[in-house]
Amino acid sequence: MSSPVTAALRFMCSALVFCAACKSSPAALPTGPSEVAQPPTASVSPARLTEDLAGRPVFPPDNWWNQDISRAPVDPQSASFINFIGATDTLHPDFGPPPYGIPYVTVGSNQPRVVIGSFTYAGESDAGVAGGAPGYPIPDEARTLPNYIEGGVPGGGDSGDRHLLVIDRDRWLLFETFATKWNTAAGRWEAGSGAVFDLSSNARRPEGWTSADAAGLAVFPGLVRYDEVYGTNEIRHALRFTVRASNGYVWPASHGAGRTGGAPPLGMRLRLKSSVDLSGFPPAEQKIFEAMKKYGLLLADNGTDMQVTGTMDGRWNNDELNPAFKRLRASDFEVIALGWR
């Protein structure tokens, strides 16, 4: 199994290839089509997080992230919510080579835990007491090396959502923080909020609690992952997305982040209409969009309209992803019954 240091090398080695383009838009990143035409191999980098996960299911099959919603009823307010978003708004992939997307790292049960010194939303955050030890298993390298934290800045920096996702692969626990920062002067980690999830359980956040995501949901299970897109199996879970404003929340969310009239609630699910023809899309994008038909998009936070989140990975080809996503509009989706189980 790879160590936290070698697991991060995958992102750093990929970043070296694209360092000259990281300041440009994702569409300008010079990734050749041949780089993503084949499934990942051992030559991609010194270590791959996919080996640590080994195809393990994230949450039980009947978890809300893993529900087949292809036959769920359409909500009576579907057209209204789509119009609020903007029927002609196109889909956006919020992922790519560093610094785009959200990174994650896996660690073993021997990874030392560190106590988060300060939470902005302390009353709705987990102290990290799980698996027999207090704190969060944050690798020391996250303080000084890039691409451990969303945004790519060592120690988190001062701007952006700065999600930090750490999976204890031995105890099968997921640790997530939002607005993560290493405070050098105080010698401690700080965050806006934090949550711990047992990946073998369907336990939901307490009613009214946030997580590292505004909706109180886990971030990791909703990411578009390179290993799934280019693996042999279908993508078997819903995908995380955002809209510019929301109005309360519905199950499976446990927390709201706004009261904008006419806006959709966090926890709402979109489903790509079965009538949308995917035959003209590249195979990788077909696979992603098929998941949107079967498992849908789960509204997790306020942000850019129709923005779908994925992992930070140097192998993504944004020259292929961006135009493919832009061919789908909000009007190609429908809202399934709010709170449907």
Q: Evaluate whether 197 touches 174 at the Cβ level (below 8 Å).
A: yes
Pairing status of strand 164-168 against strand 105-107? parallel
Reported as a single tens digit per residue, the pLDDT across 27-64 is: 332 333 333 333 333 222 223 344 568 678 999 999 99
pLDDT, position 51: 52
| Tokens representing residue 202 in the block | 């369907």
CB atoms within 10 A of CB 264: 27
How far is it, in rounded angstroms, from Cα 304 to Cα 306? Answer: 6
Can you give the pLDDT at residue 26? Answer: 31
Residues of the chain with pLDDT > 70, as a percent, come to 84
Residue 55 pLDDT: 78
Q: Cα–Cα distance between 295 and 271 in angstroms, integer? A: 7
Between 8 and 311, where is the model more confident? 311
212-247: per-residue pLDDT in tens?
999 999 999 999 999 999 999 999 999 999 999 999
Task: Give pTM, 2 decimals.
Answer: 0.86
Greater confidence (292 vs 12) lies with 292
**pLDDT tens, residue by residue, 294-309:** 999 999 999 999 999 9
Chain segment 101-156, per-residue pLDDT in tens: 999 999 999 999 999 999 999 999 998 777 667 899 999 999 999 999 999 999 99
Q: Tell me what the pLDDT averaged over the chain comes to.
A: 87
DSSP secondary structure code for residue 63 in this structure: S
Give residue 52's pLDDT. 66
144: alpha, beta or left? (left if phi > 0; alpha if psi -120 to 50):
alpha
Q: How many helices (H) and strands (E) does the chain have?
A: 7, 13
Report the candidate in 187, 240, 188 with the shortest Cα–Cα distance to residue 214: 240
Of the ranges 12-16, 77-81, 314-318, which one carries the lowest mean pLDDT score?
A: 12-16
Top-confidence residue, 21 or 265: 265
Amino acid sitting at position 206: P
According to DSSP, residue 97 is labeled S
Average of per-residue pLDDT across 158-184: 96
DSSP-derived 3-state class of residue 92: strand
Mean pLDDT of the region 267-281: 98
pLDDT tens, 284-296?
Answer: 999 999 999 999 9
**Which pLDDT band, with edges at 50, 70 and 90, does 183 fall under?**
very high
pLDDT for the residue 47: 32
Predicted confidence at residue 92, as pLDDT, reads: 97
Cα angle 126-208-212, degrees, rounded to a multiple of 5: 45
Q: 115 and 128 in contact (C-beta within 8 Å)?
A: yes
Report the distance separating Cα 244 and Cα 203, nearest Å. Answer: 28
Domain regions of the chain by residue span: 4-24+61-335
